[in-house]
């Protein structure tokens, strides 16, 4: 079946965003864009010479999920790891400028802040290079993150685990998060990157894209029947409360524990860039749940939000006014 939401109900949920609290836990990153022009090939090797004209730094990884929640008016907090380096300092200072508490940001000495650097010339990506350490974070870092969650759990409506497979999200952290919110009415939502879904077992919502779901199941979805079969299997195998498979231009498929399966068609008229669309989907979905939306209502609002983001270039965010307009 398909599901829509009335304008009045959508406005009611969006109106509660400012009173809803979401914590994002995961891999904090900086997205660095170096912009330039190419007019010649290097005499040293057959590569273009980029004359740099400007540089942009943006919140990336789980910090981009946080930015989506923040920009649309939700109460957002973050817990993750940075290195004791300039990029880590930039991340912390940027959060402070946004009036977002940094008590959950742990500085791990000897570990670099994760940075993705994209060199772009004439609106084309020339090269990307990544600075990162993907080894698991220390027990001390996990303890600090869990302690922070316990200190704010009374205010939380939802937690988003934003896994970019950079060493923050693994078994001990997931155990600590579950322990921190045990017995509390907090939605635990996961945007997965790892093929071992048992790591996320029992969470309230998981949002793999089509390719991630195929990888975990070891199959290729040929048609919608395959997606339905695969979604049911994932939901039952890992005891998720709900599963949202995002399928790009084919929209989304929501599977609920009660057996409901809902197809939500894509809304985007023109797709310029899907970068960060998954961050928008889980951020707005979790915020909507915290604001009292049903799973179906939250999925429809997240779908509307994604339709705005894919029409922008880069890891984009959206405003509450933009969401109200498309609704």
Which amino acids are annotated catalytic? 279
Asked if residues 193 and 279 have their Cβ atoms less than 8 Å apart, the reply is no
Instruction: Describe the chain by its helix, strand, coil percentages, rounded to 5.
Output: 40, 25, 35
CA dist 131 and 114 (Å) reads: 6
Helix (H) or strand (E) segment spanning residue 117: strand 114-121
Judged by DSSP in three states, 327 sits in: coil
CA dist 54 and 19 (Å) reads: 38
Exposed e or buried b per residue across 220-240, where buried means at least 16 C-beta atoms within 10 angstroms of its C-beta:
ebeeeeebbebbebbbeebeb
Burial class (CB in 10 A: 0-12, 13-18, 19+), 138: middle
First CA to last CA across the chain, in angstroms?
20
State the Rg of the chain over Cα: 20
How far does CA 324 lie from the centroid of its chain?
21
Burial class (CB in 10 A: 0-12, 13-18, 19+), 261: middle
Helix (H) or strand (E) segment spanning residue 142: helix 139-152
DSSP state of 241: S
């Amino acid at each position: 079946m398909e599901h829509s939401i009335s304008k009045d109900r959508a406005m009611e949920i969006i109106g509660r965003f400012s009173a809803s609290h979401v914590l994002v836990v995961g891999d904090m990153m900086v997205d660095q864009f170096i912009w330039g022009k190419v007019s010649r090939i290097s005499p040293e090797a057959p590569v273009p010479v980029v004359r740099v004209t400007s540089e942009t730094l943006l919140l990336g990884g789980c910090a981009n999920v946080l930015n989506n929640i923040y920009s649309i008016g939700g109460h957002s907090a973050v817990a993750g790891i940075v290195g004791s380096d300039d990029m880590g300092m930039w991340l912390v200072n940027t959060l402070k400028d946004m009036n977002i508490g940094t008590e959950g940001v742990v500085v791990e000495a000897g570990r670099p802040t994760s940075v993705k650097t994209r060199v772009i010339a004439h609106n084309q990506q020339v090269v990307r290079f990544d600075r990162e350490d993907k080894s698991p974070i220390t027990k001390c870092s996990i303890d600090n993150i869990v302690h922070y969650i316990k200190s704010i759990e009374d205010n939380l409506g939802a937690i988003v685990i934003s896994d970019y497979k950079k060493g923050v999200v693994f078994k001990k952290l997931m155990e600590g998060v579950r322990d921190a919110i045990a017995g509390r009415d907090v939605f635990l939502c996961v945007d997965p990157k790892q093929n071992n879904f048992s790591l996320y077992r029992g969470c309230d919502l998981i949002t793999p894209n089509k390719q991630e779901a195929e990888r975990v199941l070891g199959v290729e979805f040929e048609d919608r029947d395959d997606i339905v079969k695969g979604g049911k299997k994932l939901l039952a195998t890992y005891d998720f409360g709900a599963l949202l498979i995002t399928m790009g231009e084919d929209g989304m498929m929501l599977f609920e524990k009660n057996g409901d399966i809902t197809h939500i068609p894509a809304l985007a008229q023109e797709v310029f860039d899907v970068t960060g669309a998954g961050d928008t989907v889980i951020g707005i979905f979790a915020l909507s749940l915290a604001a009292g939306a049903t799973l179906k209502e939250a999925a429809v609002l997240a779908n509307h939000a994604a339709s705005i983001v894919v029409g922008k270039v880069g890891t984009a965010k959206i405003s509450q006014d933009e969401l109200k307009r498309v609704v």
